Amino acid sequence: MQILQVLPEGSTLPPVAYLVVLVLALAGVALALRRVGPRVTDRVVVSFAPWMVVGSSCYVLYQVHDTSSFLLKPFFSSPTVYVSVAVLAGAVWAASAAAGLPADRWRPPSVPSVVGLSGAVLAVVVVGWALAMSAPDLEPVWPGVALAVAVVCAAAVWVAIRRLVPATRVTGAVGGLCVLGHALDGVSTAVGIDVLGFGERSPFSRAIIEFAATLPTASLLGAGWLFVVVKLALAAAVLVLLASYVREEPGEGYLLLGAVAAVGLGPGAHNLLLFTIAS
């Protein structure tokens, strides 16, 4: 079932039976979280970062490898895979919070350690599976370059925005994750477009890249540089706009920033893994 072309190309919905299972599971996890009422801290939100990688990596498997005989394959399509992973991560969160674990420290036992470590283990398994299925034809050089450049860009923007707008310091580690996620998405997309010859599936991103390709700078800088600038500017703007909200309503503010971070980190991690195994 194709989705309207507001979403990236290739977005589909699974068969009705899978949708029913997914909706019921999501409702169950949402109800459990509502009853438990877990405390939301910046560390709790950051601990979901590995789960964002899990979702994007599962989608890479769905795209690249033949898993037609795999019963759970429909749960790996986009955007379904992100809801599927959210159900699993939410269940882990609800269980750890219901056990009375603290939410304000990394040292185990705690909610951030349980959520983060479980997501990290699953991420290693999924990424390792994808790499193993593609070995020995792996191309990690340019994805590695993209990762390094993204980290440098994110660090520069993060330091600059905290100095220029001190109020953004209240966003804590979630703010840093937000900047890193969007830097990774922007830089990896630029490398994919200008170096590796990949196309852009998102219509909004594609419009920015196509516009950059018409500028005089295209012959020197390529078509992806403007997308990097836009992503970093948007991430910085979000931190400035949400700083006061995070201060007044920390729980809701951190969750909102976490959602913004996921929109960048998910596609960015997807790009790195896809370019590594499909270049």
Task: Identify whether residues 74 and 173 lie together within a single domain.
Answer: no
Of the candidates 87, 85, 98, 75, the residue with the CA atom closest to the CA atom of residue 27: 87
Task: Identify whether residues 126 and 163 lie together within a single domain.
Answer: no
The last residue of one of the domains, among 136, 151, 172, is 136
Task: Identify whether residues 262 and 149 lie together within a single domain.
Answer: yes
- pLDDT tens sequence for the chain (279 residues): 444 445 565 567 788 999 999 999 999 999 999 999 999 999 999 999 999 999 999 999 888 876 655 677 888 888 899 999 999 999 999 999 999 999 999 999 999 999 999 999 999 999 999 999 888 889 999 999 999 999 999 999 999 999 999 999 999 999 999 999 999 999 999 999 999 988 877 888 889 999 999 999 888 889 999 999 999 999 999 999 999 999 999 999 999 999 999 999 999 999 999 999 986
Give the end-to-end CA distance of the chain in Å, rounded to a whole number: 28
State the total domains in the chain.
2
Tokens at 261, concatenated: 């971070």
CA distances from 116 to 26, 107, 220 (A): 20, 11, 41
pLDDT tens, position by position, 83-95: 999 999 999 999 9
pTM: 0.91
pLDDT tens, position by position, 34-88: 999 999 999 999 999 999 999 999 999 888 876 655 677 888 888 899 999 999 9
Task: Identify whether residues 225 and 189 lie together within a single domain.
Answer: yes
Task: Identify whether residues 213 and 80 lie together within a single domain.
Answer: no
Tokens at 224, concatenated: 């992806």
Task: Identify whether residues 131 and 156 lie together within a single domain.
Answer: no
Domain around 194? 138-279
Going by the DSSP 8-state scheme, the letter that residue 110 receives in this structure is S
Measured in whole angstroms, the distance separating CA 116 from the mean position of its chain's CA atoms is 14
Task: Identify whether residues 68 and 145 lie together within a single domain.
Answer: no
- Distance separating alpha carbons of residues 143 and 135, to the nearest angstrom: 16
